[in-house]
Chain A
Amino acid sequence: MQIPYETTARPDTGLYNAKLGIWLFLASEVMLFGGLFSAYVFLRMGSDPGYWPHGLLNVPVGTMNTGVLIASSVTVVLAWASLKMRKWNAYYGYMLTTIICGIVFLTVKLSYEWPQKFEHFGVFLKKESVSKPNYETYLANDKDLGGEERLEITGHLEKMEILRDNKPETVAGENEQEGLSPSKAAEVLQEPNVKLVAYELHVDQQFVDFKNAAHGDKKVDRPHFWQRPPSEESVKIEADDIASASAFFPRHSSYFSTYFLITGLHGLHVLGGVIVFIYFLLFGKKLYLRNPEHMANRVEVAGLFWHFVDLVWIFVFPIFYLL
């Protein structure tokens, strides 16, 4: 038994089966990411003032990754075209480039961007505590100017003061340089009879900018193109003033929830694409020799998927990094 139109197009539809199949699959993918993006819109519209952070992601790195993905989209088309022209070696080179681009993207994401987030710490202050001088100096909210009030101070956790069985104690990191890791802090707070007194953190440089800027100069509230190390200035935040505090984990806020879920799911798609491409690279020769058109079709279909994955990123990049 042979399924018709596996490699040749059906005359009245002009499509071979897999090409139609991948477009249908992509339609469902549009709905999947559409659901996630609508959740983003819904949560952002509904977020309390001051609870949707800005400028916490690394824009240059994100830009680079965008470039890497776009480049890989070009090379995957070239790989397909090479197969159509029956140039196996050219195909091999382009496909290899595509795979490397995909791996670079994932490596940057998983070994640099995400871990950097996990070490960052943010504290949302209670509304009534925002105007206390020691916080207000960093937040530089200007009531007259209107606009969204800043409620969160971010930075690197330096140490934390706790009460253990009602006895004061200071928890610090192993060395001064690295500070206290947020996950360790969370672990300590989970222990019974431990009560938080205060967090102390090195504030991010942008809060020093707020402090130094002319009052009401909101221009500084934009992501900086180059990531800057945290400042030397530190602020102590009392437990009573804290609405919620967390590292930049998914639990930090709706913003990071959606960020990690969407970029995570996107990352899985990239991974899936890379695996398929590696399979084509290593095991494609046999099929190519037997039926080059079939091999070209496979690359075309996987390429369509790859373009879609890029397209998702084209939406992810602005809504999380820039807006």
Chain B
Amino acid sequence: MSSTAATHGHDTHGHDDHHDHHELGWWRKYVFSTDHKTIGIQYGLTGLAFLFFGFMLMLVMRWQLAHSGQPVPFIGPLLQAIFGDSVFAKDPNGNAGVLTPDGYNSFGAMHGTIMVFFGIVPIAFAAFGNFVVPLQIGAPDMTFPRINMASYWCFFISCIFMVVSFFVPGGAAKSGWTSYPPLAGIADMSHGLWWNGQTLWLLGMVFNITASLLGSVNFIATIIQLRAPGMTWMRLPFFVWAQFVTAFLLLLAFPPLEAAGLMQFMDRVAGTAFFMPTGLVLNQHVVQSWAGGGSPVLWQHLFWFLAHPEVYVLILPGIGMVAEIVANNTRKPLYGYKAMVMAILVLAFLSFIVWAHHMYMTGMGAKVAAFFQTTTIMISVPSVILLTALMLSLWGASIRFTTPMLFATAFMPMFGIGGLTGIPLAFNAVDLYLHDTYYVIAHFHYVVAPGTIFAIFAGVYYWYPKATGRMLNSFLGHVHFWGSLICINCVFAPMFVQGMHGVHRRWWDGGLTYEQLAGPLLKWNGFMSNAAFLLGLVQLVFIFNFFWSLFAGKKIGRNPWAATTVEWDAPSPPGHGNFDHAIAVYRGPYEYSVPGAPADFTPQTQPTAATQSVPLAPTLAPAH
């Protein structure tokens, strides 16, 4: 079976397997689509919706923290009608809409779950990865388009589980996003084995994890197999590297949590005792429903074995997006591209051996703690390399402050604050004091909120023209940026102060019960909450811009940012199969301002003088 294919990368047989040149129906084109761009947009819209929903949960919680025991203004009765009487209650005057302690726990747990697993990962990894990666490597689609579709619909099922869990008796899961047993093993058991928040949470997570696995297999296979001719590893845009490494993290870190989720599920419905210890006392009675012999610490190990790499799953795509945008808007190559690639690989490896630094409080022993302390400090080295390289890329550049660049620039100090405040937490002795305080909350929110979410906004502003053919409005973008930057700092910066004074992250009343301890710090609660409400208002500007620009945005051509990477070679928006001409790559990803070049950017697809006659395609060998 010798190959006579003239176009690169196409094998001869198999053509007869596919007859998808005919027009697809509406359902196949927009809903059950196998096209990576549609799936990416589906992931993106679902993720953005969940991001907003998770933020709304937090706003209700922030109201409760600042105005403990008072009904939520305006929408309180509506909330109580929707979420039920176990989540909201009436105040002594009979006004509906006071968040109950159970409701607070539930909203807190679901805020974490939704933001991490249903907001940021679907957007930063699945949406941008799906939409951008095949375009950037010059591929017609993902390697396994149907698995890609299965991934989204698996994710969709998990979304349904999570949303439905708000409306079952007792409300949604309330054992924290970490779902620690033995609490998570007994929570809501009075409502039946199946139809309760925690069990639905576990089922939702199993589907969510399955979706991630399907997605990550696809991403890795696509990047390895479908790179266009000439797209060597060191010519990959950094964003592709980031997605590649992220996919490996998801592929290898998520399955242990799936295993753990199944075990906790069995604990709840089959009466096993994987995580339920012997002699557990509940309401002054020794619990006899389980045989015992399980270990709550086992759950923590399995959970954090996922959840620490998960932290890098949250941040690496963001760093990748920022890298693309920085190179494009500084009109310079990235500083230390190779060092960044190496750093991200080292980071990925190390992220698998730092997990127990979340568990210093479990009393696992000084030797074990010392090991994880050491690896945790080690992992700050590649992180600092990445951030430093990004910052040095700014040096001496004549920066174009476009909207994406504003967000990308702000990402660096914000992520820097988040990262540096993490270093004290890496040390066992300091962590024992700061554990579970608002200091920790501020630390990781600086990483993911003004860090990753700003990177996501940067990405949306940057690639929106590719997806829709229209620009987002720049003025509204500036309003969105400055409003977000100021408000988000007002929300999170005071948390460091509160945390260092010992304000605990799970106080339902914002610390009123512990007034003698938290006293003067409580005044910050109102300030932070007001900033959060303002932050919410500012996001409305973005939402308006997002939909309004679909119709009214400035129309653009293929390459509005004058960028070098391959995705800008495709039409905006790209059609089915992505490119209207054969793609071959001749140079590195960031050839900006090359001396002697005719323009200040040289696209990767532009042939060099030497290679014009000899394309760098891998030669097509006879198949078998």
Contact = CB atoms under 8 A, between A and B. Distances in A.
A293 B1 contact: yes
Given A35-B259, A244-B291, 19 more contacts: A1-B576, A2-B15, A4-B225, A5-B9, A5-B11, A5-B226, A12-B618, A21-B143, A28-B254, A28-B255, A35-B255, A35-B256, A35-B258, A38-B256, A43-B274, A48-B278, A244-B292, A257-B266, A261-B272
A172 to B, nearest CB: 25
B338 interface: no
A28 B217 contact: yes
A4 B9 contact: yes
Nearest to A84: B624
B181 interface: no
A311 interface: no
A269 interface: no
Interface in B262-296: 262-263, 266, 270-274, 278, 288, 290-295
B5 to A, nearest CB: 9
A261 B290 CA distance: 16
B293 to A, nearest CB: 4
B140 A3 contact: yes
A241 interface: no
Interface of A: 1-13, 15, 17-18, 20-21, 24-25, 27-29, 31-36, 38-39, 42-43, 46-48, 51, 244, 246, 249-254, 257-258, 260-261, 265, 287, 290-291, 293-294
Contact of B619 (A11, A244, A294): A11
B10 interface: yes
* Chain B interface residue number, banded: 35 or more
B224 A13 contact: yes
A257 B294 CA distance: 10
B16 A290 contact: yes
Contact of A4 (B11, B224, B258, B293): B11
A234 to B, nearest CB: 24
Interface of B: 1, 3, 9-11, 13-18, 20, 139-141, 143-145, 147, 213, 216-218, 220-221, 224-226, 251-260, 262-263, 266, 270-274, 278, 288, 290-295, 298, 301-302, 305, 576-577, 618-621, 623-624
B618 A11 contact: yes
A17 B1 CA distance: 18
Most chain B CB within 10 A, of A3, A11, A260, A293, is at A3
Contacts of B216: 24, 28
13 contacts: A1-B576, A3-B226, A8-B11, A20-B220, A24-B217, A27-B251, A35-B257, A35-B302, A39-B259, A39-B263, A43-B295, A43-B298, A265-B262
Given A32-B255, A293-B1, A246 B18 contact: no
Would you list the 3 A-B pairs with minimal beta carbon distance, nearest first?
A35-B256, A35-B259, A251-B271
Contacts of B263: 36, 39, 257, 261
B1 A34 contact: no
Contacts of B305: 35
Contacts of B298: 39, 42-43
Say whether chain B's binding surface is mostly helix, strand, loop, or mixed: loop
Contacts, number: 186
B294 A254 contact: yes
B260 A35 contact: yes
Most chain A CB within 10 A, of B20, B217, B252, is at B217
Contacts of A31: 251-256
A7 B143 contact: no
Most chain A CB within 10 A, of B11, B251, B266, is at B11
A13 B3 contact: no
Contacts of A254: 272-274, 291, 293-294
A15 B222 CA distance: 12
B221 A20 contact: yes
B207 to A, nearest CB: 15
A47 B624 CA distance: 55
A4 B273 contact: no
A4 B226 contact: yes
Contacts of A34: 255-256
A314 B272 CA distance: 25
Nearest to B617: A11
A262 B200 CA distance: 22
Contacts of A260: 270, 272
Given A13-B224, A13-B225, A27-B251, A3 B291 contact: no
A46 B295 contact: yes
B301 A15 contact: no
B258 A32 contact: yes
Contacts of B253: 31
B293 A43 contact: yes
B273 to A, nearest CB: 6
A28 B251 contact: yes
Contacts of A6: 11, 14, 17
Most chain B CB within 10 A, of A21, A29, A48, is at A21
B262 A261 contact: yes
A294 B298 CA distance: 44
Contact of B16 (A5, A10, A32, A291): A291
Nearest to A290: B16
Most chain B CB within 10 A, of A5, A11, A27, is at A5
Contact of B293 (A11, A25, A38, A51): A51
A11 B94 CA distance: 74
Contacts of B294: 43, 254, 257
Contact of B140 (A2, A7, A13): A2
Given A11-B619, A24-B221, A48-B278, A250 B272 contact: yes
Contacts of A251: 270-273, 290-291
A320 to B, nearest CB: 15
A39 B302 contact: yes
A273 B517 CA distance: 60
Contacts of B17: 6, 287, 290-291, 294
Contacts of A17: 143-144, 221, 225
Contacts of A32: 255-256, 258-259
B257 to A, nearest CB: 8
Contacts of B295: 42-43, 46
